[in-house]
Amino acid sequence: MNAKAKAMRKQYKSEGPGEDRLLLMIQSLFANRFSLRRHYETIVAPVYFLVGANRAGGTSTGLQVTPEGSCIRVENSTPPHPNACGSVGLGLNHLEAREISMVRLAEVLARVLDRQMIDRTGRPEKFNVSLRRAPDEHDVARASDDAILLLPDTPAVFTAVREQLGLKLEPGKAPVKLLSSITPRSPARTDPGLLRLSGCTSDDAAWPCG
């Protein structure tokens, strides 16, 4: 196992089995393996801000500071253990997570709403999260299609986040970094695997394999 793969594995273990984080690491490894160059641009785009709902009284049953011993610390589990610290289970109409930060929660909710989300709660603790919501038009990106049986009056995500988590999703605009293009590096440095994927051969005069 090379150094980059070991570093990815170590980061994966320390941050928990979040699929979006794993996909980003795979994207980075793929880019390095095939000598691809990623180009980003920063634009002002619509986002959601995750903030406190400022509710008077009441408790947030779906959001609890993680008690000691309420999750299992495991180095590796396939499939991921549902009670592992840092685990996130995202279904069609529910979310279950163990010992995650507010930043991580914002990342997960961003997948549900297909829009970047910025944490502005100011909460540094780790939380256990349990959210029940009715699917709606925002369900365009989710980890799985599994659903659980819910009451007919289960609210949509915006109301569910406010009522069950004591948080609020506020629309706004902010600078966001977006991937604009992916280009190969110079032909002399291009990985043979990329050339094979492209169909390039040593006899191809139009595009020498370098």
Give 144-203 pLDDT, tens digit per residue: 557 788 888 899 999 999 999 999 999 999 999 887 887 877 654 555 555 554 455 545
Cα dihedral sign, 157-162-163-166: positive
- Please determine, for residue 57, whether its predicted confidence score (pLDDT) is greater than 60: no
Give 146-163 pLDDT, tens digit per residue: 778 888 889 999 999 999
- Please determine, for residue 19, whether its predicted confidence score (pLDDT) is greater than 80: no
- Of the pLDDT bands very low, low, confident and very high (cuts 50, 70, 90), residue 14 is very low
- Please determine, for residue 95, whether its predicted confidence score (pLDDT) is greater than 90: yes
- What are the angstrom distances between the C-alpha of 113 and each of 108, 141, 199? 9, 7, 38
Please tell me the pTM assigned to this model: 0.68
For residue 130, which of 175, 94, 166 has the smallest C-alpha distance? 94
Tell me, what's the pLDDT at 58?
55
Q: Which residue has the higher pLDDT, 124 or 11?
A: 124
Q: State what percent of residues in the chain have pLDDT above 70.
A: 65
- What are the angstrom distances between the C-alpha of 117 and each of 21, 102, 120, 200? 15, 11, 9, 41
Q: Which residue has the higher pLDDT, 87 or 39?
A: 87
- Of the pLDDT bands very low, low, confident and very high (cuts 50, 70, 90), residue 55 is low
Average pLDDT of the residues in 36-49: 89
Cα dihedral sign, 159-99-171-22: negative
